[in-house]
Structure 1
Amino acid sequence: MTGGRTGGPAGDGTGVGGGRLGAVRAAMAEAGVDALVLRPSPDFRFLGGTGQGFLVVTPAACEETDDPGLIVPAGARRVGVDPEMRVRELFGLSLEAELVPATAVLAPLRLRKEPDEVGAVARAALAADAVLAGVRELAWFGATERAMARRLAALLLESGCEEILSVRVAAGEHTARPAHRPGERVINPGDALLVSLCGRWEGHCAEVARVFAVAEPPEDFEAMHSVVLAAHAAAQRSVRPGVPASQVAAAVREVIDGSGYGRFAAPQAGRGVGRGHREGPWLRAGDDTPLEAGMTLCVEPAIYVPELFGARVADVVVCGPGGASPLHPGMVPVTLWVLDR
């Protein structure tokens, strides 16, 4: 960008509907925020941003620009800034105002998805699901985690995803590491194997994760995996309008605690997905956000036994009037999948 203003007035330069923009402005007024300054990010796209500069929202304007100072009112006292704003961008704003996170204004408005948003999340989930359905056709014996992650990423792009956000392949003891990144470990018969895929479709994200055994499961692994499946089913039964997010997490915790694996349970049973791959509501203790119809959730109970193995099963559902509805057909298998090559 080389000029100052790049977009038109609200509903013109950004294409944001009046209803959404009106809700944003009402939330700004309630929070005492005089303007929002967003960079390309989920919040930016939520409000119709399409370029590479900034999107500025004020009571009178909603425009893309490379110089927010031209649009932010001179008397603005509090300005909400994008949580993904870089340090140099923050210093470059040169605004004489208190800078606060825009999350307080926008996060509550992004919880519930419109039908077109649910559809985009579903297509991202379908793409990941289709790749995972073909995992048993790939050659795993003797390959490295990194090599297989690259192969899966290529397949996810071929499925139509516009961007790969995360591809994780963890083998053996690495399955017990929640944040493991694929490395040069060779995948061998007798390994537990955890595969997780997250891509973006039409600006929306979804993650699907499955657990496999290579040739034959390690001792006790199949029993632990069955506990995760039971916890996953309990979470889905708990998802319905009006239920606090923490209650879904409690249902998962009850299953895992009852199995004896309680101290190895992941602290979170899931989270919201949408324009961001990690957004509210959070299915964990302490988040009492009531679930609403239209919320899209990644249900992901997990157990991690240090130095041995772990299991995490993730699927995307939408909270509907009658409860959780899956957004992809290949929901959790009833038994552990075994890879034979």
Structure 2
Amino acid sequence: MKEIGARHFEERLARGAEQAREAGLDGLLISPGPDLAYFADYLPPSTERITLLVVPARGEPAMLVPVLEHDSAAATRAAGSIQLLDWSDGQDEYEPAAALVKPDGRYAVSDNTWALHLLALQERLPGTRFEPVTRVLPMLRAVKTPDEIDRLAAAGAAADAAFEDVLRLPFAGRTEAAIAAELDRLLREHGHSQVDFTIVASGPNGANPHHDAGSRLIEEGDTVVLDFGGIMDGYGSDTTRTVHVGEPSDAEREVFDVVQHAQQAAFEAVAVGVPCQEIDRVARNVIAEAGYGEFFIHRVGHGIGMTTHEPPYLVAGEERAIEAGMCFSIEPGIYLPGRFGVRIEDIVVAAEDGAHRLNNSSRELHLVQ
């Protein structure tokens, strides 16, 4: 896969400045995390030592780093587009940080900025207004380039391959944690550098969408929800499939069929210009009409990119229109307390001709041993 070069980071910085201007901001303040990796090709540890990229709406970007991390910051592909400044232990690091910010400006701050750093800047810049970037610029990273979509597709294909492999393993008599460990291993074998989650929710545990895989022994007759993903080549995967140990009951098949229908209907509803909330509504209506509306207890989807959860969110109240290049999950579910749960999830990309799935493993109810 083609490497993201210096020019791409220069373009991202210019796009970030443009979006800041359009939002009436004086700039972006970006701390260690996915936003810093996206704009500066830099992912240092987030610590009590401040690292801060300032992308002004007008002017040249600058990044302040601890002097002990100067060489690492200077070695990034984006270094030629950013003025690099440093500070030393024993120095008041917030003085040079504040000097990069307008004393009466308005800035979007990356969501994962430590309160320690933001409060220190607020103390030194009482006339400056700071707002979370997700609230004022939620689409900052939402529309993906073709290269980003290729990376998401590769991560999705690797997750699909891990699922196909795990289907060949025995489930009955093994703990949820054991199957979760197998998924972790398989994701890494298929190219993931980081595994973010491996949800294995069997039997009644399947009614908890975010169940932590534990010591419960998976039994014959269990429905098992498998939700797993991580990072590969800098971009995320996230998929959910539901399997059954042995033959399912009529009730289990009925619930599965409803979720499968809801997921397909939501996928077919994706189109450029359609409000994000409409995709949630379509899936929710299918489930409600089948009599299970109260058991669909979360939004239908979330964006994905350098992190597995990011804007856009497909949820009631989100009136923002879908744009070509947006990538997000479609993952309706039904959760019956004390009994079982079912969820099916794919990552899809919106395009001018509709939607394309980035997960292509079978969405049927797989029977495992």
How high is the TM-score relative to the length of structure 1?
0.89
What corresponds to 2:366 in structure 1?
Answer: 337
Match of 1:25 in 2: 17
Aligned residue type for 1:273: I
Number of the residue aligned with 2:96: 70
Taking the aligned partners of 1:114 and 1:139, their CA distance within structure 2 comes to 40
Q: Find the aligned partners of 1:51 and 1:302 in 2 and give their Cα distance.
A: 35
Matched, 1:55 2:24: no
Aligned 1:101-120 pairs, distance under 5 A:
101-120=132-151
1:22 shift after superposition? 2.8
Q: Tell me if the contact between 1:250 and 1:285 (Cα under 8 Å) persists in the aligned partners.
A: yes
Residue 42 of structure 1 contacts residue 276 of structure 1 at CA under 8 Å; is this kept in 2? Answer: yes
State yes or no: 1:40 paired with 2:32: yes
Q: Gaps (5+ residues) in structure 2? A: 45-50, 66-92
Matches within 5 A, 1:1-341: 16-18=9-11, 20-52=12-44, 53-58=51-56, 59-66=58-65, 69-70=95-96, 72-73=100-101, 75-93=103-121, 95-96=124-125, 97-218=128-249, 220-333=251-364, 336-340=365-369
**C-alpha distance in 1 between matches for 2:172 and 2:328:** 34
Shift of 1:258: 1.5
Distance 2:302 2:350 in 1: 12
8 A contact 1:38–1:54 mirrored in 2: yes
Q: CA deviation at 1:196?
A: 0.8
Stretch moving more, 189-198 or 82-91: 82-91
Q: Deviations over 1:28-51 (max 9, x none)?
A: 234443332222222222213314
State how far apart, in whole Å, the 2-side matches of 1:331 and 1:41 are.
34
Query: How far did residue 87 of structure 1 move?
Result: 2.5
Provide the C-alpha distance between the structure 1 equivalents of 2:95 and 2:336, rounded to a whole number of angstroms.
52
Q: Percent identity?
A: 33
CA contact (8 A) 1:122 1:328 kept: yes
Partner of 2:266, secondary structure, is helix
| Distance across 2 between alignment mates of 1:196 and 1:139 | 18
Deviations 1:209-232 (A, max 9, x none): 000111232551111001000001
Paired residues, number = 326
Determine if contact 1:298/1:315 at 8 Å carries over to the other structure: yes
Letter in 2 for 1:115: P
Residue in 2 that maps onto 1:6: none
Q: Over aligned residues, Cα RMSD in angstroms? A: 2.1
Residue 87 of structure 2 is matched in structure 1 by none
CA contact (8 A) 1:227 1:256 kept: yes
Distance 2:226 2:95 in 1: 46
3-state secondary structure, aligned to 1:298: strand
User: CA–CA distance in 1 between the matches of 2:102 and 2:354?
Assistant: 48
**Conserved 8 A contact 1:204-1:275:** yes
Q: 1:108 to 1:115 in 2, by over 3 A?
A: same
Q: Look up the equivalent residue of 2:132 and give its one-letter code.
A: P
Structure 2 CA distance for aligned equivalents of residues 63 and 47 of structure 1: 12
How big is each residue's C-alpha offset from its partner over 1:171-228, in whole Å with a ceiling of 9 and x where there is no partner? Answer: 1000000121111111111111010111112221121100011123255111100100
Give the Cα separation in 2 of the matches to 1:311 and 1:289.
28
Sort the Cα spacing of 1:275 and 1:262 in 2 relative to 1 into closer, same or farther, 3 A: same
- 1:128-176 Cα offsets, whole Å, 9 max, x none, are 1111111221121211111211121111111111211111101100000
Displacement of 1:15 after TM fit?
Answer: 5.9
Q: Which moved more, 1:23-32 or 1:183-192?
A: 23-32
What is the CA–CA distance in structure 2 between the aligned matches of 1:163 and 1:255, rounded to whole Å? 35
Please tell me the residue identity of whatever aligns with 2:52: F
1:115 and 1:106 mapped to 2: Cα distance?
21
- Which has the higher mean CA deviation after the structures are superposed, 316-325 or 66-75? 66-75
